Structure 1
Amino acid sequence: MRILFIGYGKTSTRVAKQLFQQGHQITTISQSSKTDAYATHLIQDVHQLDLDHLEPVDWVYVLLSPSQSTVQGYQQTYVDSVQPIVNALKQHPLQRIVVVSSTRVYGENAGERIDDESALQPVDEQGKLLWKMEQLYQQAFPQQCIVIRPTGIYGTSVARMIKLAESTKTYANMHWSNRIHIDDLARFLAHLLHVEHPEPSYIVTNNQPVPLHEVIQWFQRQLNLSELVVESQKKTGKRIYATRMPETGFQLEHEDCFGDYAELLKVE
C-alpha cells in the first residue's frame, strides 16, 4: 500500500517506521529535509501542495502542528491548509485519510466525564478552529475520513514537568488532565490500517485522568522539592476516556504514566 504522511514530526516518524516494516511504501511531506531511509521525503508547503507526480496514494495521515499556539497559528495550520490538501488529493484513490485533531474540541471545563459519544462543544477559538478543520475534512471525504483526538502526548521528555515542579508553589484548583504515550498513539495510528470498519472518530488516551497538581507533586517528591499547596477544591479540566479505541482490539502498552516518567527522569 502507498501511504502518505502530510506533516512529519515525532509521531509521524514512529507510525511511518512501523508501516514500512509491515511492507508499505512511505512518502512524507514536510517543510524541512528528513533522512529516514525507509521513506521518500518531499519538502513542500502544505498550502501549495503538489502531489501530481506521486504514484496513486492509498492512505493518508495528516499530522500538522502550528509553530505558535495562537488563534492565527491554528487558523493557518489547521484550517487554511485543508483546501490545498483536498485539491492535491483529488486524483488519488484514497481508501482512508486519518486526520489528527485534539480533545480540545470538547470544551467542558468543570471535571466532566468525556468519551467518544460526548457532544463537541469547543469554548475557545483554538478548539473551534480544530472542530472546523474536522468538519471540512469530513465534508470532503465523508466515507474515508477518520478523525483522531489524542489527549496530552508524553513520552519523549520530562523537561517541562521538571520546570513546573521547580516553579509551582501553589495550585489554584483541582484541574483534571489526561495523557497518551507517544508510542501508544503511534501504534494506534498504525493499527487503524487493519480495522475493517473504523468509526468516524476516536479519542486516544490512557483512560487514567489525573489531577495535574498530583502529577507535579509526584515530580516534586522525586526531585526532593517542596510540594505545592492546592488552594481550592474547585474542579476544572475534564476526565477523558477512550471508549471506541479498545473496541478495535487495540491494547495500550503504557497505562502507568508515572512509571514512564520515572524512566524518563533517569535520562533527563
Structure 2
Amino acid sequence: MAERILIAGCGDLGERVARLLLARGGEVYALRRNPPRGDDGIHWLSADLASPETLTVLPEGITRLIFTPAPDARQADVYRAVFLDGLRNVFDALDTRSLQRMLFVSSSAVYGEHSGEWVDEATMPAPLSFNGRILREAELALSAYPVDSIVLRLAGLYGPGRLQLIDRLRAGQVSAPRHPRHWANRIHVDDAAAAIVHLLMLHDHQAVYLGTDDTPLPMDVLYDDLAALIGAPKVPDGPSPTGIGSKRLSNARLKASGFRFRWPDARMGYAALLDKPLPSA
C-alpha cells in the first residue's frame, strides 16, 4: 500500500518535503490556512491547527504524519496555539488507526547557553526564550501519544527565499561578537526537507535528531565570509544575540543514520544561491 502522508502546517519547508514525497510515489495531504490553487499533485487542505472545528477535513488512512507549523508571529500565545494546542487538535481530529509514524519538527532553540561547547541529542534541553520553552513542552506532550514518533531539532534555516541575512549585510545592518565569539549553526532548507523524508521512512531510528550541517562557525567568521562573497565590508563587533546561546551542534547521529548533506557548509550553500564563487582564503 502506498504511503498516505499528512503534512500539518505546510509552509515553505513543508512544500519542499511534499515534493520529495511525491517523487517517491506517496499520496501527500498538506494542511494550511490559505493553501495555493492549482494542481501540483499535493492534496491541499484548508484548515487552522489552532481551530479544531476546521480539522474535520483530515482524511482517513494517514500512515505518516509530519508536524511542521510555521507561526505567523513571534509571540508566545501564537506559538502555544500552534505547537501545543495544534498538536492536540490534530491528534483529536485524526483517525490514527493506520498511523505508523509521526515526525515533529522542533528547533535547536530548546538548548541553552553552552559557551561554544559541542551539543548533541543527549544534551539536556534548557531553553532561554519562549519559543524554545514552548517547543520543549510540545516535545514532551508528543511523548505521551501512543505513536512511533521522531523529533527533529533544526538549526537556523537558509535557502531560496531565506536571504534576509544577505540583504542586511548589503545594507550594513549586521554586527557580530568577536570577543568572545558566538557560534552559529545552519542547515540549508533543502537538506532539512531531505532529512525529514529520510527520518520519516527510516526503519531503525532514535527518538531525537539534530538537523544541522557539518560546519558550525563563529558568527563573525560566517558573516565576514558572506560579506566577502557579496563585496560588503567585514561586519563590526557587536553584542551576542539574545535568547539562543552559543553552542556547536553535532549532526553525528543524523549522519550515522545514513543521511548525507548536499550543503555541508553554509558558505557553500550561500555561494550557490547567489551564483558566486567562494572567495579564496
TM-score (normalizing by structure 2): 0.86
Matched ranges for 1:1-268 at <5 A: 1-34=3-36, 35-47=38-50, 48=52, 49-51=54-56, 54-141=59-146, 143-156=147-160, 157-168=162-173, 170-173=175-178, 174-230=181-237, 237-266=246-275
The 8 Å contact of residues 46 and 81 in structure 1, kept in 2 or not, is answered as yes
Q: Name the CA distance, whole Å, in 2 between partners of 1:167 and 1:98.
A: 39
Q: Name the CA distance, whole Å, in 1 between partners of 2:174 and 2:208.
A: 39
Per-residue Cα deviation, 1:180-219 (whole angstroms, up to 9, x for no partner)? 1111111111112331121111111113111112222123
May I ask how many residue pairs the two structures share in their alignment? 264
The 8 Å contact of residues 4 and 61 in structure 1, kept in 2 or not, is answered as yes
- Amino acid of the structure 1 residue aligned with 2:153: R
Unaligned runs of 5+ in 1: none
CA separation of 1:107/1:263 partners in 2, compared to 1, >3 Å: closer, same or farther? same
Q: Name the CA distance, whole Å, in 1 between partners of 2:205 and 2:168.
A: 40
Q: Name the CA distance, whole Å, in 2 between partners of 1:192 and 1:123.
A: 27
Q: Secondary structure at the match of 1:131?
A: helix
TM-score (normalizing by structure 1): 0.90
How high is the sequence identity, in percent, across the aligned residues? 26
- Pick which of 221-230 and 35-44 moved more: 221-230
- Pick which of 255-264 and 113-122 moved more: 255-264
Q: Name the CA distance, whole Å, in 1 between partners of 2:173 and 2:57.
A: 52
- Shift, 1:91, TM fit: 4.2
- Shift, 1:261, TM fit: 1.2
Aligned partner of 2:279 in structure 1 is none
Q: Secondary structure at the match of 1:42?
A: strand
CA separation of 1:170/1:61 partners in 2, compared to 1, >3 Å: closer, same or farther? closer
Q: Secondary structure at the match of 2:261?
A: coil
Over the aligned positions, Cα root-mean-square deviation in angstroms equals 2.2
CA separation of 1:51/1:24 partners in 2, compared to 1, >3 Å: closer, same or farther? farther
Q: Name the CA distance, whole Å, in 2 between partners of 1:53 and 1:112.
A: 43
Q: Secondary structure at the match of 2:205?
A: coil
Q: Secondary structure at the match of 2:103?
A: strand
**4+ residue runs of structure 1 moved beyond 6 angstroms?**
none
The 8 Å contact of residues 27 and 39 in structure 1, kept in 2 or not, is answered as yes
